[in-house]
Chain A
Amino acid sequence: MSLPTAVPLPGRRSARRKGTWAGLGFVSPGALLVGLLLYAPFVYTVVLSFTKYDGLTDPQWVGLDNFRRFFDDPALGTSVRNTLFWVVGTTVVPVGLGLLVALLSYRIRGGTLFRLPFMLPYALSGAGTGVIWMFLLQNGGAANDLLGSNLHFLQDAPYNTIAMIVAWTWQQTGVNTLFFMVGLQSIPAEPLEAASLDGATGWKLFRHITWPLLAPLTTVAVGLALVASLKTFDIVWVMTQGGPGRNSETLAVTMYRETFVTGRYGYGSSVALMLTLVTGAVTLAYLRRQTSTRKELG
């Protein structure tokens, strides 16, 4: 049965208005929830970052004071350095390893089984991963056993940050593997076949065919890893709480500590804002670089 569009439906205008009401009715619960619990707090935090607030007396406007304190605060300096270290480590290693595992296990018999050890950790929470690795890295624990060393992984900087990067890598390699598996599946077979007929194998094949074809996906993977690593809280909080003496803090942990442990809501808000701006800037810079590089390649 076809519907002739020329036939005017009775009460067309009121039907359209009713349609709008229905539409609004359907969209507003979700929009309201999101607006109230996500957008409004975001704006509030921005405003709060220009104040001094202890949670008890009223907030006092202090302008850019909080941001000026960034330069004087040694703990924040350490935090920024750790965060940078963290970001580089957690974007290169898990993504790189994920790609390696995907390439090696692609389309071989038992591939799923080979990939299983990497997939399991991804299902764990940040807290769970933190608990396991805290146990492995304790003084006289498994890590020291395997390395034949006597290091205090959870106490001495920069070992503690490195150790947490290892723990994070253990967890995150799996998702990158999954990602690249999907990417490899979407690579058309013709260029690969044509190249191998021309005699290209292994490394050459990868470098000239596979890698460029994977480029968009790699961009997304690294971009996602960037954002996730800047926001990291769970694993650091469980393993070291950013200590000892705040030497393994990252920005997300600093924000939490300043606000909920020290009670400086205004300063904590400014750290949150700075973290957001840094994330936005880094992501934008990275994406712009990627898209401009591709333009060069034509």
Chain B
Amino acid sequence: MRESRAGWLIRRAVLTVLGLFWLIPVYLLLVNAFRPSTGYEAGKIWVPDTHFGLFDNFREAWNSAGLGPSIASTVLYSVAAPAIGVLLGAMAGFAIVVLRLRAGFWWFMLLFGGTIFPTQMLLIPLFLGYSSTDLYDRRGGMILVYTAISVPLAAFVLRNFFTGVAYAIYEAARVDGASVWRIFWRIYLPLALPALAAVFVLSFNFIWNDLIFGLTLSQTDTVRPVMTALSSLSSAYAGTTVPVTLAAGLVMSLPTVAVFLGTQRLFARGLALGQF
């Protein structure tokens, strides 16, 4: 398929122009997050400042919004909840496919149905329920809800994955006298590592970036996740300067950006293979 020279040029020109437009916000973010807080002027946002202020800015954000405990908690939520959720989902998929659970299809529908619930339908009862059971504004409560929303996708993906594993493996292991749990833990789980990793990463990103559950179910700096802290930092009443807010936003976005860039290829390949 031969392409005209004009076509070749136009293609790349359009892509470049669009790409540059897309990068303008990133450029301005970097320039002004790095700018020292005192050097910020509304009219002069395009030129980088000669002084490096990112660390100071972030430290100020850290202090005024209690970011330290918030970040620690968010790391806990985005690692523990997906890990548990993925495990529970894999167990369910294993039960349905390998253990041939009776009415397995309905169990699957039950679990997969969990993906369709809009968060708006969950917030009020969760808030009321958490308040009355002393789960409100508690790390355990946050982990609980984040795990619950990780399970449906994990169950879906792992169930699909396990259908591709030869049943003979299970049979042979049973004949060898292995217990069901051991077969799951030692054989099926390691086999499913790519699928587990993919779901883990997706859940990690979702939970790290969450705002609404954090806003509704937590309050104090030590429990609320980072995006909730960022949201309150950027509100008009916070009294922080623009560079400080931008620095906070920049640093707190780094984990998901890093994870996303690192796993992008994996996802494209996985999607293409129809695994997920």
Contacts and interface: CB of A to CB of B under 8 A. Distances in A.
Task: Report whether over half of chain B's contact residues are helix, strand or loop; otherwise say mixed.
Answer: helix
A37 B230 contact: no
A127 B230 contact: yes
A286 to B, nearest CB: 15
B9 to A, nearest CB: 12
A29 B211 contact: no
A178 interface: yes
B122 interface: yes
Nearest to A23: B101
Contact of A128 (B88, B117, B128, B230): B230
Given A27-B95, A272-B124, A140 B42 contact: yes
A196 B231 CA distance: 52
Interface stretch (B50-58, B65-73, B264-272): B264-272
Contacts of A31: 92, 107, 110-111
A234 B212 contact: yes
Interface in B180-233: 180, 184, 205, 208-212, 215-216, 227-228, 230-231
How many of chain B's residues touch chain A, expressed as a range? 35 or more
Contact of B246 (A46, A135, A279): A135
Interface centre among A33, A120, A133, A193 (most CB of B within 10 A): A33
B64 interface: no
A3 interface: yes
Nearest to A178: B268
Interface residues of A, number: 92
Interface string A3-18: 1000000000000000
B36 interface: no
Interface centre among B123, B171, B259 (most CB of A within 10 A): B123
Given A33-B148, A141-B42, A132 B15 contact: no
Contacts of B26: 117, 120-121
Task: Report whether over half of chain A's contact residues are helix, strand or loop; otherwise say mixed.
Answer: helix
A219 interface: no
A123 B261 contact: yes
Contact of B99 (A22, A35, A185): A22
B245 A27 contact: no
B166 interface: no
Contacts of B180: 19, 22, 26
A86 interface: no
B2 to A, nearest CB: 9
B12 interface: yes
B89 A30 contact: yes
12 contacts: A27-B95, A34-B151, A41-B122, A41-B129, A117-B20, A123-B256, A123-B261, A125-B227, A128-B252, A142-B45, A182-B271, A241-B235
Given A55-B128, A117-B20, A127-B227, 5 more contacts: A27-B95, A31-B111, A41-B129, A256-B216, A259-B123
Interface of B: 1, 7, 11-12, 14-16, 18-20, 22-26, 28-29, 32, 42-43, 45-46, 88-89, 91-92, 94-96, 99-102, 104, 107, 110-111, 113-114, 117-129, 144-145, 147-149, 151-152, 154-155, 168, 171-172, 175, 180, 184, 205, 208-212, 215-216, 227-228, 230-231, 234-235, 242, 245-246, 249, 252-253, 256-257, 259-261, 264, 267-268, 271-272
Interface of A: 1, 3, 19-20, 22-27, 29-31, 33-42, 44-46, 48, 55, 97, 101, 104-105, 108, 114, 116-128, 130-136, 138, 140-142, 145-146, 170, 173, 178, 181-182, 185-186, 192-193, 196, 202, 230-231, 233-234, 237-238, 241, 252, 255-256, 259-260, 265, 268-269, 271-273, 275-276, 279
